[in-house]
Structure 1
Amino acid sequence: MKSNVVTAKYAKALFDVTYANGKSGEVATQLLELAKAFNNTSTVTFFDNPFNAHADKLAVLNNTLENKAYPEVINFMMLLVDKNRMGLIAEMAKEYSTLVQSAAGITKGKIFSATLLNEAFVSQVEATVSKTLNRKIELAFEKDETLIAEYKVQVGGWTLDDSVKTHLKTLKEELMKRGL
């Protein structure tokens, strides 16, 4: 099974449990923090090492998370140890967060520009795109120096491209059609 299918199934199962209990937002925060911890090479090495006893891995996990994480998170992490899936925690945390945001009616997107955009402008674009798509949109900035000026927005499969690069390309195509 591909890792993205596996991560989606695990994230969905955890989401189903935590959403019913009203804990999904807090659990998302805890999972993202745990994913950061698993960026640490020594942590990954410990859990991936087949010479470390399974019981030791569970004990370390339990001692580390006890009284610091929801029981659902602890059980989820122990399941990942049982199934040798700890290496996928970052992907699962991201997928889980996407499910939480989707349930809250929030869709993530990106706004690209050659230069840094101010918050007021990004908020205005978010409002316009939210109205157009009939859902709450949150845009993350990403620099793309190939755009020359203006901006491009991508939300899922939907794209708004108001960049000079695209305008020049369109103008060029129009001139080529006319034989100029």
Structure 2
Amino acid sequence: MSGALLSMGIAEPYAQALMSVAQSQNLTEEFGASFRALESLLEQSQDFRDFVMNPIINEESKKSVLRQVMGNDTNPYLINFLMLLVDKRRIIFLEQIAGQYLELLRNLNQTVLAEVTASQELSESQTQAIIDRVKSMSNARDVEIKTSIDPEIIGGVIIKVGSQVVDASLRGQLRRISINLGS
């Protein structure tokens, strides 16, 4: 079994269990916001990522740091869940569990994730235009956008929704022109 499949096989039951608790306590959105913040922190802070993923660091240190990072306003159910992950030595799958939980939340809310690559930060009107386009493509009720910046696409955007990719970048247009000229 590959590492990614193993990670998903471990992450999915934990995410589903947490979703079950969240639904019964009407906390799905609150947990979603906490997991988005955690995902962002894991992406932006290599030190935090290395600390959480390091199997040598003792459990009490990890618990202490997680409590500090999550803050006093975090729901006790979510804190207890994170402490359980540390106790069960599953905290190394935190990123996958968070991603799986957010996917379950999107399914519950009939929301799709649009991964947008742009050459520069998008304006509000550009973001809204992408949301409208994705809604019409997917028939989703709502759209969650995850943006990354890549100056190499020169201009425009690349939008990925599930397995669909819309390449409206200048680099993609130039590539298509060169292919057409070559034939």
One-letter amino acid matched to 1:70: N
One-letter amino acid matched to 2:124: E
**Distance apart, 1:171 and its partner CA:** 2.0
SS at match of 2:122: coil
Is 1:158 matched with 2:160? no
Choose 1 or 2 for highest CA Rg: 1
Is 1:103 matched with 2:112? no
Q: 1:77 to 1:116 in 2, by over 3 A?
A: closer
One-letter amino acid matched to 2:109: A
Residue-by-residue CA offset, 1:25-84 (whole Å, 9 max, x unaligned): 11233455667599648974998545x6xxx689969x979x854343244234323311
Percent of pairs with identical residues? 22
TM-score by length of 2: 0.72
Give the 5 Å matches for 1:34-53: 36=41, 40=48, 44=52, 48-49=56-57
Taking the aligned partners of 1:4 and 1:119, their CA distance within structure 2 comes to 34
Taking the aligned partners of 2:88 and 2:36, their CA distance within structure 1 comes to 20
1:85 to 83, 90, 96: 90
In structure 2, the residue matched to 1:129 is 134
Specify every segment of 5 or more residues in structure 1 that has no aligned partner in the other structure, as ranges: none
**Distance apart, 1:11 and its partner CA:** 0.8
- CA RMSD between the two structures: 3.5
Q: 1:68 to 1:167 in 2, by over 3 A?
A: closer
One-letter amino acid matched to 1:117: L
Equivalent residues, number = 172
Taking the aligned partners of 2:55 and 2:179, their CA distance within structure 1 comes to 56
Taking the aligned partners of 2:174 and 2:112, their CA distance within structure 1 comes to 30
TM-score by length of 1: 0.73
Is the Cα–Cα contact under 8 Å of residues 51 and 57 in structure 2 kept in the other structure? no
